[in-house]
Amino acid sequence: MTDVIVVGAGPAGAAAALMAARDGLEVVLLERGPFPGSKNAYGGVVYGRVLDDVLPRWWEEVPVQRWVTRRSTMVLTDTQALTVDFRTTAWGEAPYNGCTTFRADFDGWLAGKAVEAGAHLVVNTVATGLIVEGNRVVGVRTDRQDGDLRAPLVIAADGVNSFLAKEAGLLPRTQAKHLTLGVKEVLSLPREVIDERFGVRGDEGVDVELLGCTRGIPGGGFVYTNRDSLSVGVVVSLEHLAASKVRPEELIADLKAHPAIAPWVEGAELKEYTAHLIPEGGYDHLTPLSTAGMLVTGDAAGLCLAAGLWLEGVNFAIGSGLAAGRTARRIIETGDAKPYRAALKDSFVLKDHKRLRGAPRLVLSERVQQRYPGLVADLVEGLFTVGNPTAKPGALRLLRGAAKNNGVKLRHLVADGLAGGRVFK
Amino acid sequence: MSGYDDIAFDDRMQTVEFRVAERAHIVVDSDVCRSCTTKACVSACPANLFAPTSDGGILFNYEQCFECGTCYQVCNAEGALTWTYPDGGHGVVFRHG
Ligand SMILES: Cc1cc2nc3c(=O)[nH]c(=O)nc-3n(C[C@H](O)[C@H](O)[C@H](O)COP(=O)(O)OP(=O)(O)OC[C@H]3O[C@@H](n4cnc5c(N)ncnc54)[C@H](O)[C@@H]3O)c2cc1C
Ligand code: SF4
Ligand code: SF4
């Protein structure tokens, strides 16, 4: 007898299966791809601390590319770049902060933990629909012969397009407004070349977030270092991308041709091109987290945290999956999903989302996306350009000029500054 | 900035593994597309699988699809797209996703 069917062996599903199996439940973990991670693409960096009390010393075995010890935020215009750059040796030693890793490796590793705990991983199998009796989900249909599977609890961990949540009426069929599209190129470069270009050594790595590089389409870009490759990509509002008629790969080409980025990727060869959607609606557009007989986790529930400087989906997926797996037994016994919702509320998953609920709107706003990159770049260029024999202009005059050139009123700047202070407090 | 792509699109897609299924997992009803004013799928599909035809319709091939969902999310007309996942084990296989 199966107690729990988990659909999707991404981070959310693997974490849920791991905890439910540890609790002694019979767990089936379904994955439509030939192996976990085969359908999944992200930036990316995994922030692993969420695993501290589940897999002690996880960092000794996680399939890491590089440990991120340096993090930069870069604001770009066509001709300018302003970077805030931070590095710390603390992130290069246990318990670490984040690592670059590929999903085929990472998702496989985490699903392996669930299997070790006793979950049954079934790959090459699509959950094609829900089995509903009365108003209760009692199982899933699959594309296997005689493929109906029944269980007192289904955990939907089927990602951003979650057709299970859609079928249950929890998620609208389309919602381009709250989605972004991410496209990524993995570019090979010799390890030493990466070390040299990015100023790192050994297994140290760099995470660069980019703003202002997407032709005014709300979004941003990224460059991450892997062992012997770079991950370079953009994440853009689906609605605005479609309206702009710009092709997504052109945005990556732009990025790679930018004077600040081109020297990093020179001579690099394309190893793989990938694309995936991201739910970016944040707290105000979460999917209802449960319906009778079913819990919704990870991206399926819209739990990816996309708030400007943060793009954390894997750790949030794991956090919600752990909560679902831990509460599964009680939910099966009582038939009430309240313990799952309560566990999420008590964890970083909903706390961080609630705190940053205003971020998606602010970060994707027209001024932050299209005007402020130019404004700050012009301001800094003004400060550091030595225009002798002309005397240096005052900072306030420079700010006024930069604001005017970029079509920003000072009162907007003050208002957005205050809004930013409230959103990120 | 430039509008060019630095690598031919076919070469780009050659870097991705596809285990092509016999069943087409996405079907486009070109008759519906003919009355579509945005043709949003054409530029937005990251795999560039939607080709406008001279009669105003769409020619679509499912074989090199990322299964990302972009097309049905931006699609302008009800009923133009039938969208499902490929049968288990088929479709795109990412190695460095
Ligand atoms: C471009 C990009 C960059 C990103 N960068 C980062 C980053 O740097 N750091 C970070 O933490 N997050 C990042 N994210 C977000 C992160 O990838 C997601 O939030 C995370 O993968 C969500 O995990 P999940 O388990 O909920 O869903 P997924 O990882 O999408 O897993 C869902 C699984 O379910 C399977 N599945 C779906 N439907 C079915 C079905 N019907 N039957 C069987 N199996 C099914 C899929 O094959 C898949 O394996 C990024 C996302 C993108 C797109
Ligand atoms: S957007 Fe939809 S209706 Fe319009 S051309 Fe594309 S598939 Fe057809
Ligand atoms: S799912 Fe994505 S890759 Fe496939 S056809 Fe639609 S937009 Fe293109």
- Would you tell me which residues 72-91 of chain B have a C-beta closer than 8 angstroms to some C-beta of chain A? 72-75, 84-89, 91
Task: Give the range among A79-83, A361-365, B21-25 with minimum mean pLDDT.
Answer: A361-365
Cα gap B64→A241, rounded to integer Å: 21
Element of type H or E holding B76:
none
Q: Which residue ranges make up each domain of chain A?
A: 4-65+101-171+287-357, 176-279, 365-423
Mutate to test the interface with B, among A28, A35, A39 (most CBs of B within 10 A): A39
Q: What angle do CA A365, A312, A103 make, to 5 degrees?
A: 125
Angle at A230 between CA A226 and CA A236, to 5 degrees: 115
Residue with tokens 């269980």: A151
pLDDT at residue number A363: 85
H or E element, residue B38: none
d(CA A137, CA A274): 34
Report CB contact under 8 Å: B95, A183: no
Please give the C-alpha separations between residue B95 and each of A39, A102, A276, B85, in angstroms, as whole numbers: 9, 7, 14, 19
Q: What is the DSSP letter of A255?
A: H
Q: How many angstroms separate the CA of residue A123 from the nearest CA in chain B?
A: 7
What is the helix (H) or strand (E) element at residue A85, kind and residue range?
strand A81-87
Any B CB within 8 A of A210 CB: no
This prediction has a pTM of 0.97
In chain B, residues with a C-beta closer than 8 Å to the C-beta of A248 are 44, 46
What are the sequence ranges of the domains in chain B? 9-93
CB distance B58 to B48 below 8 Å: no
> Of all atoms in ligand 2, which is nearest to the CA of residue B80?
3
Chain B, nearest residue to A278 by Cα: B68
CA atoms of A257 and A290, how far apart (whole Å): 46
Query: How does strand A127-133 pair with strand A136-142?
Result: antiparallel
The stretch A364-390 carries a mean pLDDT of 92
* Nearest residue in chain A measured CA to CA from B91: A33
Question: Is the domain defined by B9-93 classed in CATH 3.30.70.20?
Answer: yes
CB contact under 8 A, A273 and B15: yes
Show Cβ contacts of residue B46 under 8 Å, excluding neighbours closer than 6 positions.
A181, A183, A248, A249, A275, B66, B68, B70
Q: How far is the CA of A10 from the centre of ligand 1 (A)?
A: 6
Residue in B48, B74, B87 nearest the CB of A176: B74
A59 vs A223, A359, A372, A379, CA distance in Å? 23, 31, 38, 42
Whether residue A148 lies within 8 A of chain B, CB to CB, comes out as no
Residue A174 burial (C-beta neighbours within 10 Å; 0-12, 13-18, 19+): middle
Q: Which amino acid belongs to residue A135? A: N
Question: What's the average model confidence in pLDDT over B48-53?
Answer: 97
pLDDT tens-digit series, residues A212-227? 999 999 999 999 999 9
Ligand 1 in contact with A276 (CB < 6 A)? yes
Q: Which CATH code, of 3.30.1550.10, 3.50.50.60, 3.30.70.20, 3.90.850.10, is assigned to A4-65+101-171+287-357?
A: 3.50.50.60
Binary contact (A102, B96; C-beta < 8 A): yes
Say yes or no for a CB contact (<8 Å) between A272 and B95: yes
- Are the beta carbons of B97 and A253 separated by less than 8 Å? no
Given a cut of 90, is residue A309 above it in pLDDT? Answer: no
Q: Is the pLDDT of residue B1 over 60?
A: no
Report the residue of chain A nearest B42, measured CA to CA.
Answer: A245
Say which CATH architecture domain A176-279 belongs to: 2-Layer Sandwich (3.30)
Contact indicator for A290, B32 with CB cutoff of 8 Å: no
Q: Which residues are paired to A236 by β-bridges?
A: A181, A219
Which residues sit opposite A231 in a β-bridge?
A186, A224
CA separation for the pair A171, A234 (Å, rounded): 26
Are A186 and B46 within 8 A, CB to CB? no
The CA angle A229-A230-A233, to the nearest 5 degrees, is 145
* Chain A stretch 64-83, residues whose beta carbon is closer than 8 A to a beta carbon of chain B: 78
Residues of chain A with C-beta less than 8 angstroms from the C-beta of B14: none
B80 lines ligand 3 (CB under 6 A): no
Q: Which of residues 238-277 of A touch B (CB under 8 A)?
A: 238-239, 241-250, 253-254, 256-258, 270-277
pLDDT at B5: 62
Task: Look over chain A and give the mean of its residue pLDDT values, rounded to a whole number.
Answer: 96
Task: Give the pLDDT confidence of A25-73 residue by residue, as tens digits.
Answer: 999 999 999 999 999 999 999 999 999 999 999 999 999 999 999 999 9
Question: Within an 8 Å CB–CB cutoff, is residue A383 touching chain B?
Answer: no
Which tokens is B43 given? 């530029």
- Which residues from A are below 8 Å from B67, CB to CB? 39
Q: Between residues A69 and A364, which one has the greater pLDDT?
A: A69
Nearest to A349 by CA among A379, A317, A374, A307: A317
For residue B80, the model assigns a pLDDT of 97
Check whether B4 has a pLDDT greater than 60: no
